[in-house]
Amino acid sequence: MDPSRKFDRVADVAIDDGRIVEIAPRIAQKGRREVDARGLAVLPGFIDMHVHLREPGREDAETIETGTAAAARGGFTAVACMPNTQPVNDSEAVTTYILKRAREVSKIAVYPIGAITRGSRGETLAEIGEMVRAGIVAISDDGHPVSDGQVMRRALEYSRLFNLPVIDHCEDEALAAGGVVHEGYWSTKLGLRGISPAAEEVQVARDAILARQTGARIHIAHLSTRKSLETVTRARREGGVNLTCEVTPHHLLLTDERVAAYDTHAKMNPPLRGRDDVDALVEGIASGAVDVIATDHAPHTLGDKMLEFDRAPFGVVGLETAVSLVCDRFVRPGVIGLGRLAELFSLNPARILNLERGTLTPGAWADITVLDLGRQTEVRAATFASRGRNTPFEGWSLCGGPAMTVVRGKVVWSA
């Protein structure tokens, strides 16, 4: 299955020297190693364009080695990692360090995302050109939204020089008002400070306007409300903008009711929303309004998470559950097909990040995700390759998920 060229049939795939050399109904020539993928789905390699690998700085929570092992186990052949490390990836030196560590310990591809502003403080531009030279694929101040409209505008204008996507964590911090959960019935009932959906929606609207004015490429990270999605859809329908968006599996599957027992494994930013928002996001992955599913994989130590709800950090892990969750809840029931799945997890992230990936074409790198839609698994954090155990899906029984992850022709993980 290759949605980049509408290819969908039973076929053999021949790989040589890390690249796909032939795709045909029957390839007679014997291979050095053959994989019997009968009954399985062979898709272009999945890319998670929104992860936090925590290295450098918080290696107790995750490392490039454990995070990428988790990614391989979750069916991902590549990840793009956010710059909110310690120190922040706002310089060529940190970008170079991340890429060096990745070459040493990672079996999958790692694409660093650089900071938009120095220290992600939202004030002055980071040395974006230097980081591009070192290998970043996008810029983002994820976790620390760029509040100042003028700084954002400058960043967008500057990003055009490098055709670099700007990934925005949309949150008006004044409107978010120190909230910890979605503002609504549950925040009221639980006595937790609410985050108004307007905090996200206002910023998405600003970005849509700036995207048009500057002609830059904006990708909205972890979009979580119906109104945000409507704003993106309307701007795209009007034309003349380069605006894309992603949603996370947890925003597609859980509502704010999940917070009822003050479980900090259900605390993330943006927060879990209400049913209507969840329904809108699910419609969005089916209709094409949503471009990408990304995990926002955010590992934290249990010590950090086992605090009072308002003191615990935001974030959940997702690399080892995302594909299985989406297969079980959306592919098997027919909400989306395999072609759409490959767009959401592979083709679109590759296009947004300008990566020569996301396709199964002779000549392309042999990055392949093999799915088994009949494979039964149960989410058990204790078995994760990730150091993070903070999943809200513990104990979920799932049918369907990754069976094998192939990067440049090498099997880096198989079930």
Partner 1 sequence: MASLSQKDLLSIEQLSVDDIGLVLDTAEALREVSARAVKKVPALRGKTVINLFFEPSTRTRSSFELAEKRLSADILNFSASSSSVTKGETLLDTARNLEAMAPDIIVIRHASAGAPHLLGTECRSSVVNAGDGMHEHPTQALLDALTVRSMKGRLEGLKLAIIGDISHSRVARSDTLLFHKMGAEVWVCGPPTLIPADFHLLGARVTGFMEEAIEGADVVMMLRLQNERQNEAFIPSTREYFNLYGLSRERMRGARKNAIVMHPGPMNRGVEIESEVADADYSVILDQVANGVATRMAVLYLLSGNSGLKPGRESR
CB of 327 to partner 1, least distance (A): 29
Check: CB of residue 243 under 8 Å from CB of residue 299. Answer: no
**Short-list 259, 184, 244, 251, CA closest to 224:** 251
Q: At what angle do helices 197-214 and 226-238 cross, to 10 degrees?
A: 10
CB-based contacts of 105, cutoff 8 Å, min separation 6: 63, 64, 65, 68
Nearer to partner 1, 162 or 262 (CB): 262
The residue (of 90 and 183) whose beta carbon lies closer to partner 1 is: 183
User: Which of 24, 177 has the CB closer to partner 1?
Assistant: 177
User: Closest distance between partner 1 and the C-beta of residue 304, in Å?
Assistant: 10
Residue 324 CB neighbours (<10 A)? 25
Q: Which CB, 191 or 239, lies closer to partner 1? A: 191
Indicate whether 307 belongs to the interface with partner 1 (CB under 8 A). yes
Q: Considering the rule CB under 8 A, would residue 394 count as an interface residue with partner 1?
A: no
Query: Any idea what the Cα angle at residue 345 is, between residues 173 and 255, rounded to 5°?
Result: 45
Among 31, 57, 185, 275, binds partner 1 (CB under 8 A): 185
- The DSSP bridge pattern shows strands 41-44 and 19-24 to be unpaired
Task: Choose the binding region for partner 1 from 49-57, 105-113, 302-310, 399-407 (rule: CB under 8 A).
Answer: 302-310
In the block, residue with structure tokens 């990067």: 407
Comparing CB distances to partner 1, the nearer of 101 and 182 is: 182
Judged by CB under 8 A, which of 2, 92, 168, 183 binds partner 1? 183
Annotated active-site residue in 296, 328, 367, 372? 296
Confirm or reject binding of residue 311 to partner 1 (CB under 8 A): yes
Check binding of 308 to partner 1 (CB under 8 A).
yes
| Cis omega (within 30 of 0) for bond into 270 | yes
30 binds partner 1 (CB under 8 A): no
Query: Of 240-279, which residues contact partner 1 (CB under 8 A)?
Result: 257, 260-262
Letter string b/e over residues 17-56, b meaning 16 or more CB atoms within 10 A of that residue's CB = eebbeebeeeeeeeeeeebebeebbbbbbbbbbbbbbbbb
60 lies in the binding site for partner 1 (CB under 8 A): no
Sign (positive/negative) of CA torsion 222, 225, 227, 233?
positive
Q: Tell me the catalytic residues.
A: 296
Positions in the binding site for partner 1 (CB under 8 A): 183-185, 187-194, 257, 260-262, 303, 306-311
